[in-house]
Every structure is written in structure tokens, then in C-alpha cells.
Amino acid sequence: IFVSVLLYIDFFISYLRDNAELTRGLTHFFTSVWTYLGLSLLLVAILLMFTLFRKTTLVKKITKFFSTVKYDLALISKMKKKKRIIIYTILVWFCFYLYFYICFFAFDFTKDLGPLAGLIVFAMTNIGISVPVQGGIGPWHFVVISSLLILGVTEKEALAFAGAVFIIQSVWQILYGLFGVLAMPYVKRDESTDINQKIEK
């Protein structure tokens, strides 16, 4: 997302300018007194909870959870193969991007937009998932359609692209999810066999 913003900053400025409702909502959220009052009350409530009720089961579970997260984050700096993990992470996100960008070639109105446009729309889908959108349409569809409109695609074509790609990706996720569930017993069986062989040796 950060890379796409740097490469195509004009697009994001145009996106916010052309989506007045979204811009208005974000501006209202960050400038409203109620936002900061609510955050302040939430912070006070959390401090009181951990101070006055620190011996309760709920607070102990929350404390244990954050201690585990802190421990896991500390382990990252001690990993012996950090470079490999970073490379794998980049490759996973690159595959996610290709998974989305390949769909551009299935439509005449998006096949010539280029990889950078695909990166922008892909980045916007990741941002849109965390942004509440009104109007009865999903955030993913909303950002895809809005992004394609700014890139010059008509509303009808953008709607067709968003609907088709969403269905295709959903079906594919269901298929490889089912494959994973079906393959899991065999993978665990092989792992158990290897462990038993090592124990016998």
C-alpha cells in the first residue's frame, strides 16, 4: 500500500476528491470532539480495569495474551532466517497482487490499464476492507468500482468487473480451502509417521 501511494500519489488525491462522502466522513471522524472524548474515556476505562480488576480472570487472560504477543515479537529479532521470512512475506503479497491483476486481462476495458493501475486498485481493496461504507454495497466492491471509475472505466464496466472478480476469487478460495481440509489428515498422518520413525530410531 505504501509503495503504491508513493508511485501514484495523484490517484489517491483524485480518489479522495471524487468521493466526497468518504472524505467528509474521515474529516468528521478526525476533527470531531466526540472522537477524542470517546478515545479518552476508553483509555481511562482500560487503565481502571487493569488497576482495579487486575486479579479477575478476564484481565489475567488479556494480560497473558499481550505478554504472549510481546514474547512472539521479541522472537522475530532472534530468528536465524529473518531474510528468508522477509522474502517469503514479499512473495506472498506479490502472489496476492498477481492473483488480482491477472483478472484485468479477462476484460477488454481493463487489459490495457497496466500493472501499476492493478497495483493501485489492489492497494485500495486492502484499504477499503477496513473502511465502513454506506449504501448497501460491500467495501471491497465500492473501492474497486470507484478506483476503476477514476482510471477511466465506465460505471457499468466497473460494476461488472467487481462482481465477476469477487465471485471468481470467492469460488477459488472455497475450492482451495476444501482441498486444504481434505489434505490435512494425510499431511498429519505423514508427519506422525515421520515422528514415530524418529522415536523408534
Say which residue, 14 or 94, is predicted with more confidence: 94
Please report where in the chains the cell 476444501 appears, as a residue: 178
Region of 114 please: left (phi>0), alpha (psi -120 to 50) or beta: left
Confidence class of residue 189 from pLDDT cuts 50, 70 and 90? Answer: low
pLDDT in the model for residue 129: 67
For the cut 80, the answer to whether the pLDDT of residue 6 exceeds it is: no
Q: Give pLDDT, residue 41.
A: 92
Question: What's the whole-number mean pLDDT along residues 21-26?
Answer: 72
Of 87 and 3, the structure prediction assigns the larger pLDDT to 87
Ranges of each domain in the chain: 79-200
* Confidence check: pLDDT of 2 > 80: no
pTM: 0.57
pLDDT confidence of residue 40 = 92
Question: Could you tell me the maximum CA-CA distance found in the chain, to the nearest angstrom?
Answer: 69
Whole-number Å distance between alpha carbons of 137 and 60: 40
pLDDT greater than 50 at residue 198: no
Q: What's the whole-number mean pLDDT along residues 6-23? A: 68
Torsion angles phi and psi, residue 105, rounded to 5 = -80, -5
Q: What is the pLDDT of residues 43-97, one digit of tens each?
A: 998 888 878 887 888 788 888 888 888 887 777 777 777 788 888 888 988 988 8
pLDDT at 88: 86
C-alpha cell at position 146: 470507484
| Better-scored residue on pLDDT, 196 or 102 | 102
| Region for residue 100 given its phi and psi (left: phi exceeds 0; alpha: psi -120 to 50; beta: otherwise) | alpha
Dig out the grid coordinates for 50 from the structure. 487493569
| Element (DSSP H or E) covering residue 186 | helix 155-200
Q: Confidence band (pLDDT; 50, 70, 90) for 7? A: low
CA distance 43 to 77: 30
Tens-digit pLDDT profile for residues 125-177: 877 666 555 544 577 888 888 888 888 888 899 999 988 888 888 888 888 88
